[in-house]
Amino acid sequence: MNRRKFLANGIGAAAALSLAGPGRAAASFQAGASQKPAKFKLKYAPSFGQFKQHSGDDPIAQIKFAADEGFTAMFDNGIMDRPVPQQEAIVRELERKGMNLGPFVLYADFKVESFVKRDKDVRDMLLKRMQEGVETSKRVNTKWALVVPGRYNQSLSWDYQTANVIENLRFCMEVCAPAGLIIVLEPLNPRDHSGLFLTKIPQAYEICRSVNSPSCKILNDIYHQQITEGNLIPNIDMAWDEIVSFHLGDNPGRKEPTTGEINYKNIFKHLHQKGYQGVLCMEHGQSQPGKAGERAVIDAYRWCDNF
């Protein structure tokens, strides 16, 4: 084969692979790779239980399976509610595998007005919750904790509510900042979660800049923001200095990447080019049931990670 024909064939094969879709592309990678898959370029983090058809219910076995598949992070929204011995066992296994743990949920009460109020009882409750978060973060060896500021008030001016959220967060910083705990604010879309105060990345950015603390940052949930505002990559760039973590899920359906309209391959490539080192939590379901569905999730991430 002459050089021109060789190059043409090589380029054609690469193009075919990039357009083939997650199943075929992942199969091609695995066929040409060693028995153990390579580590992903970014820290995609499966949730505990996401691959339980392969690994069973034991969280330690789930960590081992994820690590063997090339994942370098995990996430568990509800780790605060696990028994302390189980928390400690999870941390030991994550450390043994060299894996990170993404943000856990510290406060996310969708039913009440909290941060929007200037109320001593509310503030005392929040400060107590922050202290519990500090204790948990030390035990599970992660410095990020997720906060949703609750509902908005229909009677109070929006500007007063914003000022109250900022003030309450500043009080929370008095507990969190000295301990090195970073609160990540998550905006949620109003279609799925009506009545919540925080919905947009620019809004979260304004609040973080006003709180003015390295312990108050943003978690950007790509699924929610595709619904609320779109313009995903430009908003990532505009708020970059305040974003420290991401949640993932395609839209519509909130399933794995490649099942909806979001171009996750381009988003992951953009984050990688920006030098992003944080965790991307796989907070979504799967488009197919059983083991085949779990494998489809892994294949989708393999395909999107091929940039």
- Residue 30 pLDDT > 50, yes or no? no
- The total number of structural domains that make up the chain: 1
Query: Quick check: 248 and 257 in contact, CB under 8 A?
Result: yes
Q: Strand 73-74 vs strand 104-108: parallel, antiparallel, or unpaired?
A: unpaired
Look at residue 195 and tell me if it is in a domain.
Answer: yes
Q: Give the span between the Cα atoms of 297 and 176, in whole angstroms.
A: 35
Measure CA 101 to chain center: 10
pLDDT tops 70 at residue 11: no
Model pTM? 0.90
DSSP letter at 151 equals B
pLDDT tens-digit series, residues 277-299: 999 999 999 999 999 999 999 99
Q: Please give the span between the terminal C-alpha atoms of the chain, in angstroms, as a whole number.
A: 28
Between 15 and 58, the more confident residue is 58
Q: By residue range, what is the domain housing residue 95? A: 34-304
The model's pLDDT over 121-148, given as tens digits with 9 standing for 90+, comes to 999 999 999 999 999 999 999 999 999 9
Q: Region of 285 please: left (phi>0), alpha (psi -120 to 50) or beta.
A: beta
Asked if pLDDT for residue 27 goes beyond 50, the answer is no
Q: Which of 18-32, 182-196, 283-297 has the lowest mean pLDDT?
A: 18-32
The pLDDT value given to residue 19: 52
Please check whether residue 205 lies inside any domain of the structure: yes
What CATH number is given to the structural domain containing 287?
A: 3.20.20.150
254/22: higher pLDDT: 254
Instruction: Give me the mean pLDDT over the 75-95 stretch.
Output: 98
**Residue recorded with tokens 């605060």:** 80
Distance of CA 147 to the CA centre of its chain: 13
How far apart are alpha carbons 40 and 183 in whole angstroms? 26
Tell me if 252 is assigned to some domain.
Answer: yes
- The arithmetic mean of pLDDT across residues 46-53, rounded, is 98
User: Is residue 17 assigned to a domain?
Assistant: no
Average pLDDT over residues 261-286: 98
